[in-house]
Amino acid sequence: MCGIVGYIGEQQAFPILIKGLHRLEYRGYDSAGVSLINSKGELSVYKAKGKVVNLEEGTKDKDTTGTIGIAHTRWATHGEPNATNAHPHFSQSKNLSLVHNGIIENYKSLRAEMEKNGMTFCSETDTEVLVQLVEYMMNTHKCDLYTAVQLALKNVVGAYAIAILEKSHPDQLVCARKGSPLIIGVGKSDNGRAEFYVGSDATPIIEYTNQVIYLQDEEIAIMDRTGRLDITNLANVKQTPQLVTLQMNLDQLEKGGFPHFMLKEIWEQPNALRTCIRGRVNMVDKDVLLSGIIDHKDKFINCRRIIICACGTSWHSALIGKYFIEEAAKIPVEVEYASEFRYRNPVINPDDIVIAVSQSGETADTLAAIQLAKEKGAFLYGICNVIGSSIPRATDSGTYLHVGPEIGVASTKAFTGQVITLGLLGLAIAKVKKTLSDDIFHMLVEELEQIPDKMQWTLEHNKDIAQFAQMFTYCKNFIYLGRGYNYPVALEGALKLKEISYIHAEGYPAAEMKHGPIALIDEEMPVVVIAPKRGMYEKVVSNIQEIKSRKGKIISVVTEGDTVVRGMSDYSFVIPDTRDCFVPLLAVIPLQLLSYYVAIAKGRNVDQPRNLAKSVTVE
Ligand code: M6R
Selecting among 264, 431, 496, 614, the annotated active-site residue is 614
Please tell me the predicted confidence (pLDDT) of residue 361: 94
Please tell me the predicted confidence (pLDDT) of residue 289: 92
Q: Report CA(411)–ligand 1 centroid distance (Å).
A: 6
- When pLDDT is cut at 50, 70 and 90, the band that residue 552 belongs to is confident
Q: Facing residues of 211 across strands?
A: 245
Is residue 417 scored above 70 in pLDDT?
yes
Residue 411 near residue 313 (C-beta atoms within 8 A): yes
- What single-letter amino acid sits at 84? T
Q: Report CA(487)–ligand 1 centroid distance (Å).
A: 18
Please tell me the predicted confidence (pLDDT) of residue 399: 95
Residue ranges with strand state E in 487-570? 504-509, 526-531, 553-559
- What single-letter amino acid sits at 566? R
Residue 301 near residue 346 (C-beta atoms within 8 A): no
Rounded to an integer, what is the distance from CA 130 to the centroid of its chain? 26
Rounded to an integer, what is the distance from CA 89 to the centroid of its chain? 26
Is residue 494 scored above 90 in pLDDT?
yes
DSSP 216: P
Residue ranges with strand state E in 268-351? 281-282, 287-288, 305-310, 333-337
Would you tell me how many other CB atoms lie within 10 Å of the CB of residue 332? Answer: 13
Is residue 618 scored above 70 in pLDDT?
no
DSSP 95: S
Pocket-testing residue among 1, 308, 313, 422, ligand 1, by greatest number of atoms within 8 A of Cβ: 313
**What is the CB < 6 Å shell around ligand 1?**
311-314, 358-360, 363, 366, 409-411, 495, 499, 615-616
Residue 230 near residue 50 (C-beta atoms within 8 A): no
Q: Report CA(313)–ligand 1 centroid distance (Å).
A: 5
Please tell me the predicted confidence (pLDDT) of residue 80: 75
Q: What is the pLDDT of residues 124-139, one digit of tens each?
A: 888 999 999 999 999 9
DSSP string computed for 96-134: EEEEEEEEETTHHHHHHHHHHTT---SSS-HHHHHHHHH
Cα–Cα distance, 530 to 585 (Å, whole number): 12
Cα–Cα distance, 410 to 403 (Å, whole number): 15
Mean pLDDT of 66-83: 85
Claim: this prediction has a pTM higher than 0.85: no
Cα–Cα distance, 284 to 282 (Å, whole number): 6
Cα–Cα distance, 560 to 573 (Å, whole number): 9
- What single-letter amino acid sits at 511? A
Is residue 85 scored above 90 in pLDDT?
no
Q: What is the pLDDT of residues 339-352, one digit of tens each?
A: 999 889 899 988 99
Q: Report CA(378)–ligand 1 centroid distance (Å).
A: 24
Q: What is the pLDDT of residues 585-601, one digit of tens each?
A: 999 999 999 999 999 99
415 CA closest ligand 1 atom index: 10
Cα–Cα distance, 27 to 394 (Å, whole number): 22
